[in-house]
Amino acid sequence: MDIKKVLVTGGAGFIGSHTAVELLNTGFELVVIDNFSNSEPWIIKQIESITQKKISFYQADVTNQLSIQDIFNKEKPDVVIHFAAYKSVGESVTKPLMYFQNNIDSLMVILSCMSQSNCKKLVFSSSCTIYGNNHPNPLIEDYAFSDLPHAYGSSKQICETILQKTTIANQFNIISLRYFNPIGAHPSGLLGELPKGTPNNIMPYITQVAIGKLPFLTIFGNDYPTPDGTCIRDYIHISDLAEAHVFSCKRLLTSNIAPPYEVFNLGTGTGVSVLELINHFETENNVKIPYKIGLRRPGDAVCTYANPEKSKKNLKWEAKRSIKEMVKDGWRWQLFIK
């Protein structure tokens, strides 16, 4: 395959930046667009220094059609990976309009620019949240969307529906990737998650407790119907998740047999409880995580983990890194940023 150009929106974010590294390491040319609304400019330098390769970078808002079309006209990408979106479940409950507007507008701009530039291949960043809490585990791609109480998840469902319904008429080839719980950091310790303010997600919360920025972790409930009473999630190493995007680009660029629109779960297939995650972190890193048991967090699912078989079979991808690597790499990154 000759060298192909991938345009990544939100490429300075947690998943986008790790995907950028894997794309560059695989030999793709890379264009990144980010408005730094939830990321920082120095992350672009980190990507370049890990890979020793250059990125064609644009600071722009993906909802601004004119500036994004200019970038498409200039760069003429072969594939687009669209990460740029708001992603806080809690914030989306209080600001639903902001979430629908940003997450749907940005997708519409990307699709319109792709159409006008004759770029037909897209990887879309979705979430396992679209399944809701009503289906039995492991979750398979065929399960229907559930009605959700938050605009974040609903916006992902709407985006997936838009993609599914536009693919054929526009001769697009699209893969939606449904992420389970990405954690960890690049093994170099030079790249990782940069939460703004107090983290909502568990892993950055644990690492900030470990380094002393936060006094203790509150476990949201230990009276769930699970073996140790705490919730179970399918944690996946961020580099494994990033590699799945490379596999998706390759599939879109080379496969003639792929259906025009496909969805894949990105998980390990193994559930880990909150207490187990804390234990792994403490054992592997030799640090204590003080915690208290608090109330259940409204909206939390008891247990979610993926059936990863479709990704293995069709995408030819599977997660390889262990929970031990996830907690070690996450801690290395926290020590780097302090």
- Establish if 274 lies at the interface with ligand UD1 (CB under 6 A): yes
Decide whether 148 or 190 has the Cβ nearer to ligand UD1: 148
- Establish if 135 lies at the interface with ligand UD1 (CB under 6 A): no
Among 127, 248, 307, 334, binds ligand UD1 (CB under 6 A): 127
Q: Between 137 and 176, how does the x/- string for binding to ligand UD1 read (CB under 6 A)?
A: ----------------x-----------------------
- Region of 75-83, 91-99, 195-203, 311-319 interacting with ligand UD1 (CB under 6 A): 195-203
Taking CA atoms, 293 is separated from 30, 187, 216, 286, in Å, by: 45, 31, 10, 22
The answer to whether the CB of 229 falls within 8 A of the CB of 223 is yes
Among 170, 188, 200, 222, binds ligand UD1 (CB under 6 A): 200
Taking CA atoms, 279 is separated from 205, 269, 273, in Å, by: 15, 20, 10
Provide, rounded to whole angstroms, the least separation between the CB of residue 135 and ligand UD1: 15
* C-alpha–C-alpha distance, residues 24 and 74, integer Å: 20
Residue at token pair 């399918």: 234
- Establish if 38 lies at the interface with ligand UD1 (CB under 6 A): no
Closest CA to 170 of 76, 260, 249, 65: 260
Is residue 152 flagged as an active site residue? yes
Q: How many residues bind ligand UD1 (CB under 6 A)?
A: 19
* C-alpha–C-alpha distance, residues 209 and 195, integer Å: 14
Using DSSP, how many helices (H) and how many strands (E) does the chain show? Answer: 11, 13
Question: On the CB side of 321, how many CA atoms lie within 13 Å of its CA?
Answer: 24
* C-alpha–C-alpha distance, residues 206 and 204, integer Å: 5
Residue at token pair 């990976």: 81
Among 35, 201, 222, 322, binds ligand UD1 (CB under 6 A): 201
Decide whether 151 or 163 has the Cβ nearer to ligand UD1: 151
Q: Between 82 and 111, how does the x/- string for binding to ligand UD1 read (CB under 6 A)?
A: -------x----------------------
User: Residues 58, 86, 99, 152: which is the catalytic one?
Assistant: 152
- Establish if 323 lies at the interface with ligand UD1 (CB under 6 A): no
H helix runs in 130-236, sequence order: 151-166, 202-210
Phi, psi of 262 (to 5 degrees): -135, 150
Provide, rounded to whole angstroms, the least separation between the CB of residue 301 and ligand UD1: 7
The answer to whether the CB of 261 falls within 8 A of the CB of 122 is no
Among 105, 300, 309, 325, binds ligand UD1 (CB under 6 A): 300
Cβ partners under 8 Å of residue 30, min gap 6: 5, 6, 8, 11, 20, 23, 24, 53, 55, 56
- Establish if 131 lies at the interface with ligand UD1 (CB under 6 A): no
Decide whether 119 or 219 has the Cβ nearer to ligand UD1: 219
Provide, rounded to whole angstroms, the least separation between the CB of residue 180 and ligand UD1: 8
- Region of 36-44, 213-221, 252-260, 307-315 interacting with ligand UD1 (CB under 6 A): 213-221
Provide, rounded to whole angstroms, the least separation between the CB of residue 14 and ligand UD1: 9
* C-alpha–C-alpha distance, residues 295 and 77, integer Å: 48
Residue ranges binding ligand UD1 (CB under 6 A): 89, 127, 129, 153, 181, 200-202, 205, 217-220, 231, 233, 274, 297, 299-300
Q: Which are the catalytic amino acids? A: 152
